Structure 1
């Protein structure tokens, strides 16, 4: 049973009194979810928007928003993700670009300057209230509305290296992604008493995948607006969770706070995706708590992860394979090719290609990624960086990850980021920023330059290095190279002190 049929069955058959979603320690029952989903479907039908219609959702981590997304996917409509995390002007511009016949949003977002006007300029605004009720907030549905047949979600990328893009995910991709991740119901059981935590933004693939995984398996969903350490720890304790998903920044937060091991005693595993998790960080968490960190590799384009670690793999291979992204999941084939497209021998680095039903092209076509990788003799994938991140400095190629790893060997550096700054003479030059370790004396720029000169080729040494209290991040906790370059430009524009 695919996710569309699964959601349809839940909205029709789940017991009304059963717990569905906990938010801020208050439970939404399945009856509440069903009522909101029915109201959304009724208003869209009355507006003449049937199957395949594109419907915008300014998606927040709230129960009523989960209900709206469930209603849209179950009915065969296309969810167009709109991020509430961006400033009002950018959100309004995003809505205007999409030309949507209907946009569903919470009232607080619609009250932001220019947002409601952007919605009603091309379509109907539906306000989704905190109690799950749905109301018209203005505008009308145009006579001719756009559709996107076969597409379940127009999903936002994280926007770490440029403006976020929308990836079109077919329902078959979602089905395969859930199957590859083992997120299928057991037998014909509709609901489960177990619970899963969703703390990543649902407007990005990590949060959406986990929310859909809860629904696909019938587990109760614990929904947090965002990761906040003490609230997260209380959720783990209260529900005695056995598995959670944390981005590397959150793993580091748990370690730095020295959360007592007994508060996390129920956990058997932590999965980590969205951004690469340094092996030192994963190993430190494992040695501190005895809880394996299972890294995954994926992308929005694949509707989730296509490779990763499992507990059996961790038990057998961690000591020798730490730092790899794991092995291909079921239903996924991986290979590495050269620039001419020919497959490379085992262990050689090149462009990673994926063949799976999780891609838009289906399971018969190899899809070339932007990632540089190698696959060893045991099938483990090692990510070496991104081809499209390569900085060309006067004809010489610089891999940001190479520079980043060197900077992170400094004892006072918590994390580093490297980007290419346009340069009129050389084309690009590498620039870097480091986040200082809390409680330590921030490293001097001269020290960092000396470290780079010792371990890097001359053209790999950054032209500028900044020491920051915090690196700029996207809502999904990845370092934002766009914002990093803005900070570098601003610092360079500052008057030089005499």
Structure 2
């Protein structure tokens, strides 16, 4: 069987200049040869194309394992070892995979001996992987599927979405990947990757670097000091920051000299307010290009470009940009009829990653598209809070809270109410060195929101629970408000 163009591209890049630097981790550079040797060993241990679970962490050997499965035309089944041992064990048991790859501690804690699943232990790029005993008989690969990707789990338990080789190739190699020429030499400039590998953003950015033969710094997670040190050292032309990380940079002591060399910042995975984007640009002199994507789409379907930003930002601030990557966008009413320009309804998407024969995908996002094709995401229909007949969009309340100078982040959910049906409640995380109580925040919200939009309870916490992609974990936020009141809670609104 002929290898997919994505598999061929990975092989070409790994062999291009084997001794050139590929990935920096913990201030140590590893070569393309080191990355490639382990990738090929994983490929060899995998045997025929099959589903391979990987307990993914942000480490170089885990990148190699991902590449090794893709080299062999197999299916990477993403397993998040940070979800809690019991949940992860149950997930692994239900998957019944023939092979699971991971670090020794994760495999020992999470894979039950005698379960019929073989294990492949990876400890370092230079170390030989160790194969455990026994295999599960259920070893068929999902035909054409590159990655069974976990969704972010923002509103409920994460589910897996199949990302095909074609979808992934179009995302990282362009709309016609079969005709995309392999690089003839490594790219100049170093990228910084801090997105988690258990999220589509991390897989996308790693594969984008690999298919471009671009060296990259790989961070275990976003930490302000380590990220800033990497930016100062390597001076990337572009940085990617989820909204929570962007706000952390915005409200830090960093100045424009620390980000010298950065020409653009991109942001996605969650809503970013226009006010935060403007404040970032004003502080650092760097435009922020927001985008709109989903795991189900295999990547982005709308976003800002620099030319559009220069021409339209002042008039279109708050938009997530225009259709990108060959995507088509439309807004429909509840019956599926396409609405007029600037009218509100549910967003439908034909992602370019799915090819020209793709069907329209109905989202739960409330949106409008203006006459110039700019998309505005107004909230999620399945998260709307109906308080005594009034509709409240949680993102509007969250954005208002985050506009307070002392607030670093906020998360807003519905809570059942016997009289009103439901009311909004909020968790708030304050900026370091700042103080505010719930009464002050309520008074502030009274100046920017309607009275019915103001949360009936605000809890100030040290840290808002978040998913690996940086979004607020709304399931955990709801759990906070449904559990019995305890002494660890912060300030409350009546």
TM-score norm. by structure 2 comes to 0.91
Deviations 1:38-69 (A, max 9, x none): 21122122xxxx12x11000111111111111
Q: Is contact 1:181–1:305 with CA below 8 Å preserved after alignment?
A: no
Query: Per the alignment, do residues 35 and 411 of structure 1 end up closer, same or farther by CA in structure 2, a change over 3 Å counting?
Result: closer
Question: Are the counterparts in 1 of residues 291 and 320 from structure 2 also a CA contact under 8 Å?
Answer: yes
Change (3 A) 1:363 1:386: farther
> C-alpha displacement at 1:77, in angstroms?
0.3
Matches within 5 A, 1:129-278: 129-136=123-130, 138-179=132-173, 188-278=183-273
Instruction: Write the distance in 2 (CA, Å) between the matches of 1:290 and 1:424.
Output: 50
SS at match of 2:313: helix
**8 Å contact from structure 1 (residues 39, 133) kept in 2:** no
Q: Is the 8 A contact 2:301 2:352 kept in 1?
A: no
- Please give the residue correspondences for 1:60-71 in structure 2 after superposition, counting only pairs within 5 Å: 60-71=57-68
State the distance in 2 between where 1:318 and 1:490 align: 43
Q: Matched residues in 1 for 2:28 and 2:172: separation?
A: 27
| 2: CA distance, partners of 1:188 / 1:403 | 47
Change (3 A) 1:132 1:96: farther
Aligned counterparts of 1:378 and 1:495: Cα–Cα separation in 2: 49
Query: Partner residue of 1:81?
Result: 78
> Do the aligned partners of 1:180 and 1:306 also contact (CA within 8 Å) in 2?
no
* Kept after mapping to 2: 8 A contact 1:356/1:363: no
Whether the aligned pair in 1 keeps the contact of 2:173 and 2:211 (CA below 8 Å) is no
Give the whole-Å Cα distance in 2 for the aligned partners of 1:239 and 1:413: 31
| Partner residue, 2:13 | 10
* Distance in 1, Cα, partners of 2:407 & 2:176: 37
Higher mean Cα deviation, 374-383 or 484-493? 484-493
CA drift at 1:394? 5.6
8 Å CA contact 1:125, 1:137 repeated in 2: yes
CA–CA distance in structure 1, aligned partners of residues 388 and 488 of structure 2: 28
TM alignment of 1:118-137, pairs within 5 A: 120-136=114-130
1:291–1:402 Cα change, 3 Å: closer
**Structure-2 separation of matches of 1:452 and 1:234:** 37
* Contact 1:96/1:122, CA 8 A, preserved across alignment: no
1:223-250 deviation line (CA, Å, top 9, x unaligned): 1111122221221122221111011121
Aligned counterpart, 2:392: 398
Q: How many residues align?
A: 486
Q: CA offsets, 1:457-487, max 9 Å, x none?
A: 5654433221223322122211111111122
Q: Give the superposition deviation at 1:421.
A: 2.4
**1:269, CA displacement in angstroms?**
0.8
> Is there any run of 5+ residues in structure 1 with no aligned partner, and where?
none
Residue of 475, 479, 494 corresponding to 2:468: 475
Structure 2 distance, partners of 1:199, 1:433, is 25
| Alpha carbons 1:177, 1:304 under 8 Å: kept | yes
SS at match of 1:158: coil
CA distance in 2, matches of 1:362, 1:147: 25
Aligned equivalents of 1:24, 1:185: Cα separation in 2: 33
Given candidates 357, 367, 373, the residue that maps to 2:361 is 367
1:424 offset after TM fit, Å?
6.0
- 8 Å CA contact 2:247–2:408 kept in 1: the answer is no
CA deviation after TM superposition for structure 1 residue 494, in Å: 6.6
Q: Report Cα offsets for 1:299-337 as digits up to 9, x if no partner.
A: 111122111111111111122212110111131111111
Q: Structure 1, residues 10-65: CA drift from partner, whole Å, max 9, x if none? A: 34x323212111111211112112211121122122xxxx12x1100011111111
What TM-score, normalized by structure 1, do the two folds share? 0.90
Matched residues in 2 for 1:262 and 1:495: separation?
40
Q: CA deviation at 1:209?
A: 0.7
1:6–1:281 CA distance, 2 compared to 1 (3 A) = same
User: 1:200 offset after TM fit, Å?
Assistant: 1.0
How far 1:91 moved relative to its partner?
1.7
